[in-house]
Structure 1
Amino acid sequence: MHFLDLLGFFSANIVPAAALSGVSLLNVLLPRSPHRRWSCQCDALRNVWFFPKTHLTLPSSPMAYPYPHDSCNPLLEPHSPCTLDYHAVFSINATGLSDIQARIRFPRKHNFRLAIRNTGHDYLGKSPGAHSLFLWTKHLKSFSFLEKYKGLKYIGPAIKMGAGMGGIEAYWFANFSWPLGSGRQLPDLRLPLTLGGGHGPFSLKYGLAAEQSLYLSMTVKAVPDNHFSTAYITAPDNGTNTKSIYFALMKFLGALPGIVIAVVSAMWVAAPFGSMLMPAFGPGLRQDDIDKLLRCTLERMDNLGLEDQYPYSEFPTFLSADNSLTSSWNVSDYNIGGRLTDNLDGLNSVSLVSDVAVNPYFRETLFSAVVGTPIDYNGLASNQAAQDKLTNDLLPLLAKLTPKGAAYLNEADFQQPDFKWAFYGDHYEKLFVIKQKYDSHDIPYTKTAVGGDRRM
């Protein structure tokens, strides 16, 4: 059966099995029409199939291409399979605490899997939830500012938010910010990113997102607003300057410890199209401060004769700085894997507190190296081969450079062979004891989560 022959529907709180992938997208994005117009509908859907926003507003359509196993893929031939396959059986739109409590009891009673999904911004297959009941938390939106929060280890301003609050939504309130991840660049991020640690422009100054958590719902520390500076560097590869670009990149990497000490977040890319710093983001820094940190890299690029661009700006508030950032490229176009890289010679970033579950190796990390192979939307087999290349060839090369072993579990290889150590380090056994205490039946589980190997 072709996916255009299936028609899904939505009720107030329950999304049936038919509302999946291409099916739900057609019903939401495109009007129903006779068979003669299906070709136009297919073309329209194919044009946006690559973008996360096509999938993330819906309860079961995965952002990451491999996980539905090509079921209902509009880029394939018309008579390609369209079945539930690795999709959830039902999705529950959680609108309050009672919904969550009831939906957790139900799969426990009937012995099947519960998957929890927000927007579905996910590379490791945690949100698709094969054969499961989805608990969809995207619409749990609440926001309140607590001027005088008092806890066991923190007294001061805080923000209380619902799970459905997005990065940019939760960023700024009453002249206070929360040190979250990207806002404009990755607007589909939601609060569950904290469960993996959560890094972003504030991480070097205040620590990871997980370190800001104070209480359930969740309640997080708030920090005063400040001025910010940003800078971009782009050096396109014209086919004759590849070696020069690598020499310039080596100079930048040599300057990276100083950039980290100055609490500047720097997102950089090396790809066939060239090298990009996009951007360097300095909380509380002036433009001259950013210029000094990048001067040696810019001078090297000039000496190598590279044609580069260096736009920079200074902003009075975080929100104005974040609004200036350029949107990232399509984040779902790659199979990815990652490795945390140190080589700091004793340099430590913001210390993690002992009761945070994040891998303690984050204390020694200079940068998170994320590598990727392009996704082929027309072939699941070729994509598995590309992912295997990451697992078996590319990531082991990075591992040789980082023998202590660690990876940021939100941007990692879902096939990571030693995921317990790589993702959790010395904290794994303690986390496993907690998992057994509160979820001995493994109702919510994923392959690379604590205890996930018990279901494999």
Structure 2
Amino acid sequence: MGSLVVDKGRLGALQDWVWESGFGANETCPLINSTFQSFPHCHQGRIPVYSALVESSAQIQEAVRFARAHNLHLVVRNTGHDGAGRSSGPDSFQIHTHRLKGITENSMPEGIATVLSWLGESVLRSGLPGDSFWEEESPSERFPIPPAFIEKLSVRGARSDVEFWRLGATTQLEALRDLNREGIVGQFELKHLAERGSMEVSLEVYNLNTTDISSNRMNVLRVALERSGLHPTFLSRSVSKLTSALRHRGDIYPDDYGILMGSVIVSNTLFNSSRGPQRIADRLSQFPMAIGDTIFTSNLGGRVTDSQGLIDTSMHPAWRSSSQLFNFVRYLPYKSVEGKITAMDDLTQVQMPILYALDPSIRASYLNLPDPNQKDAPQVYWGKNYGQLLRIKRQWDPDDLFVVRSGVGSENWDVEGLCKQGMSVLARFQTFLDALAWHFR
């Protein structure tokens, strides 16, 4: 495909090759080749067979009725940004929603607009990754974007260097903890660089509603690291609108770009404790990473925590008492089915257990950055809310027309949602306990 932007309008195309390809033989057949006869059964992996490009709610309804009437394997795709292959599937019928452009702010009832305004402020105050993508400078005058003073501190070192972890990683995590206590958001990032054994740890901080460069909080940390013998890089800038500091173009990927992802929530109790950052840094120093791999944080807390007990949502309850989301991105640069399967096994059996060990008091993850082979999806993504969600699904979708990997009700199906399978006794018992807990809460 060559270098490309995540192609929102291209049928079947996803963010990377991992979920476009399948898991069996003949996944790399040549399209035009004199030896094509050697591949008589070449197929198209997980790319849908048919797609309906819908532009209205009426067309969506018609497509859903068609899928139900013909018992089709249904998938829904918008942009193709997908961490677990949920917007594609082998032998599937796709509803492609990216042409639904008619939803505007003016059509929202005032109550919904108020909620969105509240949610926007919540996102800004509780976490905003530094490379977020905005298609417009100012999405809405009703939801104003604040000015910001942005600081970024980076330190490089050898993976085996104890001082790199003790000073570089631990100190930056401590700084993030202290800044969060003051209501300042930031992002911690750990990268395995191209040079074997070389690591980089960085902290990017967003001082919202100010362009005052005199605060220079991170510069104080830079001086302290320099005095300790490290050689940090420090950058700062002021912007009149936070969105002007973020990307205004889509991701551009090479044709061999592939990733797997996983995530884990860390509680307020651990991260805000005196030794919490050091404990996390110690765990990360033992985390297996290859060249190109990244771990980054997303701030939680803020109004998400303040609304604990006030808002009833399907989210795992642990989100209401957590401080950080640690996200892992595994880079897979080579198109190999065998390599993909091996990487998935490593993620599930080796890397995710280490991430969950960051905070043993919580075992919860973010569904949009999932371990694709998560065996305990109901508990990891929804916790005690799963029983209620399953009852709702059985009421409105008794035939499981909408089934996705690790989604509600997916435990009754194989990983691709093609064949129904029996639910284990343990899973049934856990679902019963969840439903009982929700009923008597």
Name the residue aligned to 1:104. 64
Q: How does 1:5-404 map to 2 (within 5 A)?
A: 45=1, 47-48=2-3, 53=5, 55-67=7-19, 68-69=21-22, 73=28, 82-142=42-102, 144-146=104-106, 149-151=109-111, 156=114, 185-187=131-133, 223-237=143-157, 239=158, 242-246=161-165, 247-273=167-193, 274-277=199-202, 279-288=204-213, 291-292=216-217, 294-295=218-219, 297-322=221-246, 333-342=258-267, 343-345=270-272, 348-350=301-303, 351=305, 352=307, 353-403=310-360, 404=362
Alpha-carbon deviations, 1:154-175, whole Å to 9, x = none?
A: 674968xxxxxxxxxxx9xxxx
% same residue: 18
- 1:65 Cα deviation (Å)? 2.6
Alpha-carbon deviations, 1:62-117, whole Å to 9, x = none?
A: 32433322766489996577413322110111111111110111111111221110
Taking a change above 3 Å as real, the CA distance of residues 82 and 188 of structure 1, as seen in their structure-2 partners, is farther
Question: 1:55 touches 1:61 (CA, 8 Å); kept in 2?
Answer: yes
- 1:186 Cα deviation (Å)? 4.7
1-structure distance, mates of 2:249, 2:149: 11
Taking a change above 3 Å as real, the CA distance of residues 348 and 178 of structure 1, as seen in their structure-2 partners, is closer
- 1:283 Cα deviation (Å)? 2.6
1-structure distance, mates of 2:336, 2:11: 24
Name the residue aligned to 2:399. 441
Taking a change above 3 Å as real, the CA distance of residues 131 and 76 of structure 1, as seen in their structure-2 partners, is closer
Taking a change above 3 Å as real, the CA distance of residues 372 and 454 of structure 1, as seen in their structure-2 partners, is same
1-structure distance, mates of 2:396, 2:353: 35
1-structure distance, mates of 2:73, 2:390: 19
Listed as ranges, the gaps of 5+ residues in structure 1 are 1-44, 160-170, 190-219
1-structure distance, mates of 2:130, 2:174: 29
TM-score, length-scaled by structure 1:
0.68
Name the residue aligned to 1:213. none
Question: 1:60 touches 1:87 (CA, 8 Å); kept in 2?
Answer: yes
Taking a change above 3 Å as real, the CA distance of residues 111 and 222 of structure 1, as seen in their structure-2 partners, is farther
Q: 395, 398, 411: which is aligned to 1:453?
A: 411
Letter in 1 for 2:403: Y
Question: 1:336 touches 1:387 (CA, 8 Å); kept in 2?
Answer: no
- 1:120 Cα deviation (Å)? 1.0
2-structure distance, mates of 1:188, 1:272: 27
- 1:298 Cα deviation (Å)? 2.1
Q: How many corresponding residue pairs?
A: 360
Listed as ranges, the gaps of 5+ residues in structure 2 are 194-198, 274-299, 415-441
Q: Secondary structure at the match of 1:363?
A: helix
- 1:123 Cα deviation (Å)? 0.9
Letter in 2 for 1:62: L
Letter in 2 for 1:271: K
Taking a change above 3 Å as real, the CA distance of residues 432 and 137 of structure 1, as seen in their structure-2 partners, is same
2-structure distance, mates of 1:387, 1:77: 31
- 1:425 Cα deviation (Å)? 1.6
- 1:380 Cα deviation (Å)? 1.3
Q: Indicate the RMSD between aligned Cα atoms, in angstroms.
A: 3.9
Taking a change above 3 Å as real, the CA distance of residues 157 and 389 of structure 1, as seen in their structure-2 partners, is closer
